[in-house]
Amino acid sequence: MKTQRRTNRTRFALPAMVAALSLTLAACGASNSGSGSGQPTGSGSGSEAAIPAAWQSCQVGGQAKSVTDTQGTGQDKKKEIKIGAFNGWDESFATAHLLKAILTEQGYQVSVQSFEAAPAFAGTAGGDIDLVTDVWLPTTHASYIQQYGNQLVPLGCWYDNAKLTIAVNDSSPAKSIADLATMGDQYNNVLYGIEPGAGLTKQTQQKAIPEYGIKMEFRVSSTPAMLAEVSRATQAGQNVAVTLWRPHWAYSAFPMRDLEDPKGAMGGAETIYSAGRPGLDTDNPKLAQIVKNMALTDDQLSGLEDLMMNKYKGENHDAAVAEWLQANPDFKQKMLAGTLHR
């Protein structure tokens, strides 16, 4: 999946941004910046070789096919569906509520419930949760898939650009992280980070900064503080450099782009899978296929998250999804037809 430049961006005043961030963090119960990677908490770091074969590789759209003709998808036995979303993970709620909207129109009764990652994996493997949509592999959730992967039903992957980044405003001069070693003065000699305990922070401190010889001050504080600096710099027309991660709504809300990482110091991209409870694919073959058909680009995902977490302040995900689907009228039809990846 190639990252595309964004041409339509919403700019928020700083007070509104800080207020929205506070509401978002309170509503979600946690920030998805505090894990081992600037991503969700509770991950493991087992080796890829120990992951069951069904979870070792996936191509977005690789299992997609049409469900508009229900012949061949079987008759679904269960219409009441529970989707688990991980506390503090914006993309988890975005995809869960997106599926809720599409499945509801297909006659299912869908609820979305929030969980921490560990009980979500255990609950799905135990059959108490029908599916989750935010399984990061090969690294972030390796230990959970090592433990539960043989019980869970793989439901395809919908995104393959999940990664840690150092990002700058689109109009600034740096193209590579290496440029920050000589262009620090163009960014006020400050690289803004997030929480001290976040894996993104550790990766930046222990790998990127020493490997690229960056002499800028690495100002570590919090995710809201980092985003407030992006908002301030955007409004002031100033350059800014921050640690960030994909997927994130900031790429839609602000004119930001990732710096190239030729040394791979920030780590490689991960793929995000969906997983179902045992027997979901036989009990609900049509539903399972709809989930396998899901695919989202960077622009689509960040745009949806932007609506959810800013315009709707994290308070009404269903309304945000409804507005996003109205603005993307072909998405639902392409998803049911299995052509989103094309």
The CATH number of residue 279's host domain is: 3.40.190.10
207 & 332 share domain: no
Other C-beta atoms within 10 Å of 322: how many? Answer: 14
Task: List the one residue out of 112, 135, 111 whose CA is nearest residue 42.
Answer: 135
In order, the DSSP letters of 57-103 are ---TTTT----SS-TTT---S--EEEEEEETT-HHHHHHHHHHHHHH
Render pLDDT for 227-284 as a digit per residue (tens, 0 to 9): 999 999 999 999 999 999 999 999 999 999 999 999 999 999 999 999 999 999 999 9
> Chain-wide mean pLDDT for the chain?
87
154 & 274 share domain: yes
**Which pLDDT does position 70 carry in this prediction?**
56
Question: From CA 129, how far away is CA 121, in angstroms rounded?
Answer: 9
147 & 103 share domain: yes
| Lowest model confidence (mean pLDDT) among 61-70, 142-151, 204-213 | 61-70
**Which pLDDT does position 50 carry in this prediction?**
83
281 & 145 share domain: yes
Question: Whole-prediction pTM value?
Answer: 0.81
Contact 1, 215 (CB under 8 A): no
328 — phi, psi (to 5°)? Answer: -125, 70
pLDDT bracket for residue 88 (50, 70, 90): confident
In order, the DSSP letters of 200-228 are HHHHIIIIIHHHHT--SEEE---HHHHHH
67 & 135 share domain: yes
Count up the domains in the chain and report the number: 2
Q: Per the omega criterion (within 30 degrees of 0), is the bond before 119 cis?
A: no
- Find tokens 């222990």 and name the residue: 206
Give strand pairing partners of 154. Answer: 275
| Lowest model confidence (mean pLDDT) among 7-16, 63-72, 126-135 | 7-16
pLDDT at 36 over 70: no
Angle, nearest 10°, between helix axes 90-105 and 317-327? 70
pLDDT bracket for residue 23 (50, 70, 90): very low
128 & 187 share domain: no
Contact 284, 290 (CB under 8 A): no
Q: Which domain holds residue 187?
A: 163-258
Three-class secondary structure of residue 280 per DSSP: helix
